[in-house]
C-alpha cells in the first residue's frame, strides 16, 4: 500500500455542466454546453493542466461536459459506473466504499505526474471530500454548482490547489 502514497498526480474533479430539468438521463442545456466549451478554453489557455486520462459517469451530462476536451486532445473518454451518483437502495456505507475502491484502482492504474480528469455528480463529490486524507480543511465545500471543479495534487495526502466555476 505504500506505493500508492508515493505517487504524485494531479486530479481535476468536475461537477457536470448545467443539465436539462426533465428526464431520467437529461442532456446539458445550452448553458451547460457553453460551460463545457469554457472548460476546454481554460485548458487551452494553460489555466488548467492538459489531461492524461478522462473519466465520466454513466450519465450523458458528464460525458457531454468533458467531450470538447476529449475531442480537442484526441482522447477516449472512459465511462465508469463508479462515478455515478448514489443509486436507489445503495447504503451510505456501500456508496462510500465504491468511491474509495475506485480511487485506489485509479491510483494503481496511473503513473506519477499524470493528470486525471473526473466528471461526476454533486453527491459523489460531497462524499469524495469525506473519504480522502487532505492537508486542508475541506469542510468549506458544502455545495458544488454545475460546472464547478476542484483541483488536487495527490502526494502523501490530497493537497487542495483551487476550486472555481468554468
**What does the pLDDT read at residue 94?**
98
CA angle in degrees (0–180, nearest 5) for 41-46-48: 80
In this prediction, residue 1 has a pLDDT band, given cuts at 50, 70 and 90, of very low
Please, what are the domains in the chain?
Answer: 2-165 (3.40.50.1240)
Q: What's the pTM value of the predicted model, to 2 decimals?
A: 0.93
The rounded distance, in Å, linking the Cα atoms of 30 and 9 is 33
Mean pLDDT, all residues of the chain: 94
Answer whether 154's CB lies under 8 Å from 5's CB: no
- The neighbour count for residue 162, using CB atoms within 10 Å, is 10
Q: Write out pLDDT tens, residues 105-129.
A: 999 999 999 999 999 999 999 999 9
Tell me the H-state helices in 45-83.
60-72
Percent of the chain with pLDDT over 90: 88
- Report the interhelical angle of 60-72 vs 30-44 (nearest 10°): 30
Here the cell at position 45 is 489557455
Give the mean pLDDT of 30-41: 98
**What does the pLDDT read at residue 6?**
53
Here the cell at position 166 is 468554468
If you compute the radius of gyration of the chain from its CA atoms, what whole number of angstroms results? 15
Q: Write out pLDDT tens, residues 124-153.
A: 999 999 999 999 999 888 788 999 999 999
Amino acid at each position: 500500500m505504500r506505493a500508492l502514497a508515493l505517487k504524485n498526480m494531479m486530479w481535476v474533479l468536475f461537477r457536470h455542466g448545467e443539465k436539462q430539468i426533465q428526464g431520467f438521463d437529461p442532456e446539458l442545456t445550452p448553458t451547460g454546453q457553453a460551460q463545457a466549451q469554457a472548460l476546454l478554453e481554460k485548458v487551452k489557455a494553460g489555466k488548467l493542466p492538459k489531461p492524461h486520462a478522462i473519466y465520466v459517469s454513466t450519465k450523458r451530462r458528464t460525458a457531454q461536459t468533458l467531450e470538447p476536451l476529449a475531442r480537442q486532445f484526441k482522447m477516449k473518454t472512459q465511462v465508469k459506473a463508479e462515478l455515478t451518483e448514489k443509486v436507489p437502495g445503495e447504503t451510505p456505507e456501500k456508496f462510500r466504499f465504491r468511491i474509495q475502491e475506485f480511487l485506489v484502482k485509479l491510483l494503481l492504474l496511473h503513473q506519477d505526474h499524470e493528470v486525471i480528469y473526473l466528471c461526476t455528480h454533486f453527491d459523489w463529490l460531497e462524499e469524495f471530500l469525506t473519504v480522502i486524507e487532505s492537508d486542508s480543511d475541506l469542510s468549506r465545500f458544502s455545495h458544488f454548482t454545475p460546472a464547478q471543479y476542484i483541483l488536487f495534487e495527490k502526494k502523501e495526502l490530497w493537497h487542495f490547489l483551487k476550486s472555481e466555476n468554468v
